[in-house]
């Protein structure tokens, strides 16, 4: 028997004023699977992630994450997900260590100092543990947000442009982390504009266009050039 998907969107629509951003999105993501979501600017990729993260209510349709309805059981969803948005979302006046302490306290309790330092070490920020985050570069702030994932691996990980602001070394760490997370049975849904970063770790590629999933297929042996062709075909936008 095939297990229920950890992410299931059915007929999702979202309207902002007179603008229909999503128009009947249907998408499943199973445990142990990573899906790369492509689409042009304004296609609704971030809106879809925000609905799944319970940060935005759909105008129509349903979204279920880890067995919990995103509207009727938002708290149940939040206990099972991690959402890393496009921005760093860090507290500038706190140190890196203090940021992690604060985030983990919100998640249910304090962590041992050594555990916090290990998480910072995983993203190569342990030498900056007691530096104020306002002194960090954009890439360092981005890595700090990723340190949270080391402390509390989620059942469902939602990533909005995860390669933004990361150098090649940091992105290699993200790829390794995502592979390990998939092996543990978690599901990953990530948006990307890059045809070079993100696709290698993806099991499926979905293209969002005209408010719907216009293409959804296994990554398989698709070359980047073929993905670019499919992207241009469905979005009518050069890759």
- Mean pLDDT in residue range 179-192: 95
Going by pLDDT thresholds of 50, 70 and 90, the confidence category of residue 105 is confident
* pLDDT exceeds 80 at position 236: no
Q: Strand 212-218 vs strand 68-69: parallel, antiparallel, or unpaired? A: unpaired
Judge whether 97 and 110 are in contact, CB under 8 Å.
no
Q: Minimal CA–CA distance to 214: which of 233, 201, 238? A: 233
- Mean pLDDT in residue range 209-234: 89
Can you give the C-alpha Rg of the chain in angstroms? 18
The residue whose two tokens read 């592979």 is 179
The residue whose two tokens read 């290698």 is 200
Going by pLDDT thresholds of 50, 70 and 90, the confidence category of residue 157 is very high
DSSP state of 194: -
Contact residues for 104 (Cβ-Cβ < 8 A; gap 6+): 110, 111, 116, 148, 151, 152
Going by pLDDT thresholds of 50, 70 and 90, the confidence category of residue 139 is confident
> What does the block give as tokens for 64?
């279920």
* pLDDT exceeds 60 at position 239: no
> What does the block give as tokens for 217?
């297929």
Percent of the chain clearing pLDDT 70 (strictly above):
95
* pTM confidence score: 0.90
């Amino acid at each position: 028997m095939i297990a229920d998907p950890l992410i299931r969107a059915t007929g999702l629509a979202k309207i902002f004023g007179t603008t229909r951003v999503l128009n009947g999105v249907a998408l499943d993501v199973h445990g142990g699977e990573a899906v790369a979501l492509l689409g042009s600017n304004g296609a609704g990729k971030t809106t879809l992630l925000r609905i799944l993260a319970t940060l935005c209510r759909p105008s129509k349709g349903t979204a279920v994450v880890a067995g919990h309805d995103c509207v009727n059981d938002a708290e149940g969803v939040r206990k099972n997900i991690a959402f890393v948005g496009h921005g760093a979302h860090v507290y500038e006046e706190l140190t890196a260590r203090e940021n992690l302490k604060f985030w983990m306290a919100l998640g249910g309790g304090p962590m041992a100092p050594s555990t916090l330092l290990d998480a910072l070490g995983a993203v190569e920020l342990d030498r900056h543990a007691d530096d104020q985050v306002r002194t960090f570069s954009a890439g360092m702030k981005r890595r700090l947000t990723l340190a949270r994932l080391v402390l509390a691996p989620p059942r469902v990980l939602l990533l909005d442009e995860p390669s933004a602001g990361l150098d090649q070394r940091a992105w290699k760490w993200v790829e390794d982390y995502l592979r390990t997370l998939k092996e543990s049975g978690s599901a990953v849904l990530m948006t990307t504009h890059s045809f070079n970063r993100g696709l290698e770790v993806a099991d499926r590629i979905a293209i969002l266009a005209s408010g719907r999933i216009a293409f959804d297929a296994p990554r398989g042996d698709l070359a980047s050039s073929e993905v670019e062709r499919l992207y241009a075909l469905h979005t009518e936008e050069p890759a």
